[in-house]
Amino acid sequence: MKLKTKKYKAGVFILIVLIIGVTLVMTFAMPKSGNLSDVTLPAAPADKPVQNVNSDILYKEKDWTTNFTHDASIIKADGRYYSFSTDYMVGAPPTPGIQIRKSKDLIHWEFVGRVFEQVSPEAWESTKGTTFWAPDVVKLNDKYYLYYSVSSVGKRNSYIGVAVSDNIEGPWIDEGAVFISQEGDEHTVNAIDPDIVLDEHGQAWMVYGSYFGGIFITKVDSATGKLVDPNDEGTLVAQRKNMNYGIEGPEIIYNGDTGYYYLTVSYEWLEDTYNVRTARSKNITGPYVDYNGSEMIDTTDESFNTGNKLVGAYRFENSDGWLGTGHNALFEENGEYYLTHNARAGEDVYWSHLHVRKIVWTDDGWPVVSPERYAGEAEQEINEENIIGKWEQILLPRYDDSLQDSQNLQLKSNGEMGEDDKSHWALTGDNTLELTVYDPGRAPDDYWKYKLKVIPAWDWENWNGTLVFTGMDQEGTVLWGKKTVEKNK
C-alpha cells in the first residue's frame, strides 16, 4: 500500500509539473492580449471629430481646410507642404484661379489664395474653358513651374499651359502653351492632367492625358519647361477599351530601392466609382505592367481589370463613407512615400476633400496605402499580442468599383480567425500579417493568402488611435483592415 501511495503521489506530482509547464509555455509562447499600450499611436488631428459636410463655411475660404480640394498636387517648399488644385466649390460657380493651400504637417491645411484671376486669351480661344483643372508644380533650375489645364468638357479641345515663379506663393508669370489638342488634329491625346516627373538620370518628362486617346509621356526641356519637341505627343503608356472605360489623372514616381517607375491612373467616374490603379516598369516610358502581368495599354474587354487598385470607394462602420476616391498625386520625402487623392463625402458627394495616405511597400516591391488618412503616424515594431481582437476589413475588388462596406474580422489568440478552424493568421517578418482564409471552390487551391503590412493609424471614424493593415492576396487584390479599440467608459 505504501508503494502504491508513493507511486500515486509521484504521478500526481508529475502531472502537476506537466500542467505548470504547459501553462508556462502557453503563457509565454502564445499572444496574451490585444492591447496597444506598447504602440506609439498618432495624436488626434483635431480637438473634435471633423465635419465632412459643413454649409457654414461655404463662403469662408479661411475655414476651408481640405474642403473643395480636387485634383491636388503636392510640393514641399520653404519648409511647408503646398497643395495646388482645380477650381472647385459647392453651391456656386468656383472662382477661377487654381486654389493654393499650405500645411506644416500634411494634416492641417490653410487656404492661401489663388493663382490667376481668369484663363488666358490663348487658352480661351483653344477651348472656350473658363476654369483651371489639375495643376502640377515642380522645381526646375531654381524656379517653380506650374502646369495647368483648360478644357472643353467632353471634347479634345484642351490646353496645357505653364507659369513660372521664383516663389512658391507667386506671383506667377504665364509662359503660355505647352501642348494643345483639338478635335480633328493629327494627335490622339487629350491635353489635360499634366504631371512632371524626373527620371533616375534627372531628365524631365510630362505624363498626361485622359479619356479619348489614353495616357502619354513626352520629354520636357528643363531650361524652358516646355516640350523638347512641341509637336510630339509622346509614347502611349496606358489606355482602356473605349470612352466608357474612364482613365485619367496620371502620375509617375521612381523608387530607387526597387528600381521601378510606378504609374498611377484613375478609373471610372469622379463622383462615385473613381479609383486609383497602379502598375510598374523598369523604364519611364513603359511598358507598365500590373501585379498579374497585364499591360496598362490593354484595350480588350479585360481592361476593366488592369492595374492594382490602391484606393476605391469605401465605408467603415460609424461613417457614411467616401466616394470618388481618385485623381491622385504621389510624392516622397526622406524615403517616406505618400499618396493624395480626392474623396467625396458619403452624406453629400459634392463635398470633395483632400485625403493624404501613407504608402507602405510589400516585400515584393508593390505600393499599398493605409486605409486611414495620414495623421503623423510612424511605422514601428508590432507584436503578436497587438494583433489579437476585433477588426473591420474591406476588400477592394478590381472588378467592382462601387462603394465597399467593411466586414467584421476576429483574430484569436490561438492563431485562428473567427469560428473557422481552417483559417489562420500569423505575424511574420517585418510587420507582415499573413492571413490564410479558407474559401473552398472560389480561392486558388481553396485558400486566399494575404500578405499585409501592419502600421499605426488614426481611426477617423471612431476618433481614436489604432492599428491598420493593408496588402494584397495572391491575385493582387487589396485588403484593408482596421482594429476595433475598446474605449474606456
In the residue annotation, 434 being an active-site residue is answered as no
Cβ contacts of 421 within 8 Å, gap of 6 or more: none
- Give dist(CA 284, CA 261) in Å, integer: 6
Strands (E), 115-172: 133-140, 143-151, 158-165
Dihedral sign computed on CA atoms, order 280, 281, 287, 291: negative
Residue of 425, 375, 401, 436 whose CA lies nearest to 266:
401
- Cβ(147)–Cβ(196) below 8 Å: yes
DSSP-derived pairing of the beta strands 404-405 and 314-315: parallel
In the residue annotation, 363 being an active-site residue is answered as no
Amino acid at 283: N
Residue of 441, 474, 206 whose CA lies nearest to 364:
474
| Greatest Cα-to-Cα distance within the chain, rounded to the nearest angstrom | 113
Amino acid at 327: H
Catalytic residue among 87, 136, 248, 268: 248
Catalytic residue among 71, 251, 372, 459: 71
- Cβ(472)–Cβ(291) below 8 Å: yes
- Give dist(CA 468, CA 339) in Å, integer: 17
Q: Could you tell me if residue 307 is left (phi over 0), alpha (psi between -120 and 50 degrees) or otherwise beta?
A: left
Per-residue cell: 105: 504637417
Cβ contacts of 173 within 8 Å, gap of 6 or more: 163, 164, 165
144 backbone dihedrals φ, ψ, rounded to 5°:
-95, 130
Q: Which residues are catalytic?
A: 71, 248
